Structure formats: C-alpha cells, structure tokens
Chain A
Amino acid sequence: MPLQYEINPSATVPIYRQIVDQVERLIAGGSLRAGDELPSVRAVAALHAVNPMTVSKAYSLLEAQGLVQRMRGQGMVVAERTPGNSTSQRMALLQPSLQAAAQHARQLEIPLAEALAAFRKELEGDK
C-alpha cells in the first residue's frame, strides 16, 4: 500500500509542515525504512489538489535534515539512518506535544505529580 499523507488544508499548521511532520514520525516509528520511496511531488499535489511547490518545499526540508535523499531517476528515498542519535531525534519530535500538554496542565492547574502519573499511565496503557 503506497504511502498517503493526511493533509488538512484548513488546519492551523501549514501544509508543508504537516507533510514534514508525518514523514519524520513515520521514519522515527519505523513505518518508513531506508530506501523506501516517498510519493512523487506530482502525485501528492494532484491527489490533494495542493500546490506542488508546497510539497517540494516539504521534501527539500526533509532532504536538508538528512532524512531523505533525492535519487536520480526515482523520486525521494528515505536515507540510511546515522546510528547513535536516533533516540534524541525521536525525543525532539515528541517535544511539541509535550509542550502543549504541559501548557494545558498548567492552565488546568493540575499538580505536577498527578500530571506525570497520568502521562505514565497513558504510556503504559498503550502496551
């Protein structure tokens, strides 16, 4: 089953950022492996009726991060992962959700210990 992005044009997150985030998560989570091909700019743009330049922009950013490579003749391919920093890379991806959750917890005035316990429960409950 070829990869299809979920794109919500009316979200507050710009479309290029939605694509970058999804590819980052899929690579970090192992759904996309080194050598896997990303859908072409044309295909993504046509499927979602979005500007091809926006898809290109997302791919260029992923390329600049070293997550994907432009292959001659083919499209974009997931790059070999450099070993060592993968946990910290994945942690960096988790950071925005943590910040949002922390902000909500503060606004709701939930005590620290209870917020941490709830997060632990969420993590373990998923197993």
Chain B
Amino acid sequence: MHEPKSTHASYASESALANACPIEVSDLNLSYKNRHVLKDVCLQIPQGAVVGLVGANGAGKTSLIRCMLGLTLPQSGEARLLGEDSRNLSDHARARLGYVAQTPELIEWMKVAAYLDYIGAFYPVWHEQRVMQLLLDWDLSPTQKIAELSLGQKQKLALVQALGHAPDLLLLDEPVASLDPLMRRDFMRALFDDVPQRTVLISSHLLSDLERIITHLVLMKEGKILVFDEWDVLAESLQRVQLAKRLPDESGVLVQHIHPDGVTAVIDIRQFDPSRLPPEAQTAQMNLDALFVELLS
C-alpha cells in the first residue's frame, strides 16, 4: 500500500478518528441566489454504516453529497471525509474514496477497457482482476466505445470505476436508476464482496432496494435532515396511528395529517408510549415506502 509520508505524532489518532467517523458534516448551509438548499445540516456517519439518503426531488440530496465531496462549497459549515476537510483532501484520502455521480462523467471517445486503465493509473492500488470480472459479470464489452453505450451501461461502467480501487468509503448519487432489478441486486452484492466494513452513502428513490442493504436512514425535507437513525430501530419504533382526534403536539408525535375521517399520525414509541393512545386507535408498523409517504407528504 502506498502510504503518505506524514508520520507526525498525531497521525495515529487522526486515522482512528477517521475510522470512527468517515463522514462528518457540521452546520452546512448552502444557497443559490435566494434559494436555501441546505439548512444547518449536521451528520455523523459511523464506520461500516450503509446509509440510505432519501427525500423528494429537490430536497437537497445531491447538494449534500457534492458538499461532502468538496465539489460544491457551502456558504458556511464544514464537511469532512475520512477525517479530512473535504475542500482539501489528501491523495491518501482520495485513494480510499469512491464516487458515482447522478450522471456519470465518462470520456466518451475512449473504449471501456482503455478508459478503466486510464482511471486506474491515478490510484496507488487498482484491482485489475476484479474490474475485468465485473465487466464480465455485468455484460460490458471491454472493446466497446463509451459513446455507444446505453445509459444503463454507462451507469454500470461508472460503478465498476468506483469499485476498481476497492474504496473504504463510497458515495453514490442515484447510481442504479437506469438498471434492471437483477442488475441492481448484482450491484448490491458487489458492495459487500471485497471490502469488509465499507461505509456507503447511497441516495436513491428505489426504496425496496435500500431496505435490503441499509443500516441507517437519512430522510431529507426541504434542505433539512428530518430523520437520521438506525433503520432497524426506526422500523421498530415508528408507527402509523389512525385515530379520531388529534394527539397533543409533543416530542414523539412526528406528524399528524387531518382528513375527513379522522387523523393519521406517526409516533415514535421510544418517546410516546402507545399505551397512552385512545382505545379506538389503530397502530401499524411501516416499511420504508410507507414511512416516506407519511413523513414527506
């Protein structure tokens, strides 16, 4: 492994910190003209987490990922990846980082294998065999010109590119929207094939895919983080309640929708004891799809 020369005393503790928290975002604010895109966003992602980043279109998901990577600079606040300031990532951090953008930026006139060789040369370690295996498994021809690939094939190529250096941290912005369900499963398997304890942040509208793999959920609404927690805990703690009258507005009551037949609320049973509900109330657990609808509609 290529290691940077920095051997000063604090290196060990810095890398320990990086392992504890590969993504760290504090008080991010981002505006375009008079549109406030990110509002006081704070986030600490533990090592090994697979985080689903979920929200309606325009909620700020792509902006947040771009700020994490230092591709977009916020007006205030800070983003850190692998313990380093995103605006100034070292080669060492870059070598441990993989990213797939919503629209992959590839070099159109190159052929698939030549392009991957070219990209691989930028990394201290490039897993040639794994790359060739993924091309084979995912039906990509090494000799095809990138300009001739379909959108789905380009997405596959971008994923191969992001996995080629076996990164410890992967940021994926709607990476599989154009892929069929079988291919998406292959991709999810590939995430866990090579590196144990890899940290992944993945934004997607394919919620049933996310349910297979995520350990954590970030739910964004209008530039803010509405929910960040372990997914299993959320699935077991948040419940949809149908009742006749409003509940008191207190912590533990997340939303209440009033409609002609009564009220639909979402409660967090860690804070709101369901035994306090009126006897006619009907409670139900929710999957991610239901949670998305109840919390964001």
Residues of A within 8 A of B (CB): 9-17, 45-46, 48-54, 57, 107
- The answer, yes or no, to whether B235 is at the interface (CB within 8 Å) is yes
Tell me whether A48 and B231 are in contact (CB under 8 A). no
Tell me whether A46 and B189 are in contact (CB under 8 A). yes
| Interface residues of A, dominant DSSP | helix
Tell me whether A48 and B212 are in contact (CB under 8 A). yes
Within the complex, what minimum Cβ distance (angstroms) separates B168 from chain A?
Answer: 15
**A37–B233 alpha-carbon span in the complex (Å):** 28
Identity of the chain B residue whose Cβ is nearest the Cβ of A12 in the assembled complex: B285
Are A10 and B215 also in contact (CB < 8 A) when A46-B189, A51-B192 are? Answer: no
Within the complex, what minimum Cβ distance (angstroms) separates A8 from chain B?
Answer: 9
Tell me whether A50 and B213 are in contact (CB under 8 A). yes
Within the complex, what minimum Cβ distance (angstroms) separates B210 from chain A?
Answer: 9
Residue of B50, B212, B236, B286 near A9 (CB, 8 A) is: B212
Are A14 and B235 also in contact (CB < 8 A) when A9-B208, A51-B192, A52-B192 are? Answer: yes
Are A53 and B231 also in contact (CB < 8 A) when A10-B287, A107-B282 are? Answer: no
Identity of the chain A residue whose Cβ is nearest the Cβ of B291 in the assembled complex: A12
**A120–B213 alpha-carbon span in the complex (Å):** 41
Tell me whether B211 and A9 are in contact (CB under 8 A). yes
- The answer, yes or no, to whether B270 is at the interface (CB within 8 Å) is no
Tell me whether B231 and A10 are in contact (CB under 8 A). no
**A52–B214 alpha-carbon span in the complex (Å):** 11
Residues of B within 8 A of A (CB): 48, 50, 185-186, 188-189, 192, 208, 211-215, 231-232, 235-236, 282, 284-290
Within the complex, what minimum Cβ distance (angstroms) separates A25 from chain B?
Answer: 19
Are A51 and B50 also in contact (CB < 8 A) when A9-B208, A10-B287, A12-B286 are? Answer: yes
Residues of A within 8 A of B282 (CB): 107
**A45–B213 alpha-carbon span in the complex (Å):** 9
Tell me whether A49 and B188 are in contact (CB under 8 A). yes
**A7–B224 alpha-carbon span in the complex (Å):** 33
Residues of A within 8 A of B232 (CB): 14, 16-17, 54, 57
Tell me whether B231 and A14 are in contact (CB under 8 A). yes
Residues of B within 8 A of A10 (CB): 208, 211, 287-289
Identity of the chain A residue whose Cβ is nearest the Cβ of B184 in the assembled complex: A49
Query: Can you list 10 A-B contacts with CB-CB less than 8 angstroms, sorted by A residue number?
Result: A9-B208, A10-B211, A10-B288, A12-B235, A17-B236, A46-B189, A49-B185, A49-B212, A51-B213, A51-B214
**A40–B56 alpha-carbon span in the complex (Å):** 37
**A48–B213 alpha-carbon span in the complex (Å):** 10
Tell me whether B212 and A51 are in contact (CB under 8 A). yes
Tell me whether A15 and B212 are in contact (CB under 8 A). yes
Within the complex, what minimum Cβ distance (angstroms) separates B212 from chain A?
Answer: 5
**A46–B194 alpha-carbon span in the complex (Å):** 12
Identity of the chain A residue whose Cβ is nearest the Cβ of B211 in the assembled complex: A9
**A15–B231 alpha-carbon span in the complex (Å):** 10
Tell me whether B212 and A53 are in contact (CB under 8 A). no
- A-B interface, 6 closest residue pairs, ranked by CB to CB distance from nearest: A12-B285, A49-B185, A9-B211, A14-B232, A49-B188, A9-B212
Residues of A within 8 A of B231 (CB): 14
Residue of A17, A49, A51 near B215 (CB, 8 A) is: A51
Residues of A within 8 A of B212 (CB): 9, 15, 48-51
Within the complex, what minimum Cβ distance (angstroms) separates B38 from chain A?
Answer: 28
Residues of A within 8 A of B50 (CB): 51, 53
Within the complex, what minimum Cβ distance (angstroms) separates A42 from chain B?
Answer: 9
Residues of B within 8 A of A17 (CB): 232, 236
Tell me whether B192 and A14 are in contact (CB under 8 A). no
Tell me whether B185 and A12 are in contact (CB under 8 A). no
Within the complex, what minimum Cβ distance (angstroms) separates B35 from chain A?
Answer: 34
Residues of B within 8 A of A57 (CB): 232
Residues of B within 8 A of A12 (CB): 235, 284-287, 290
Within the complex, what minimum Cβ distance (angstroms) separates B49 from chain A?
Answer: 9
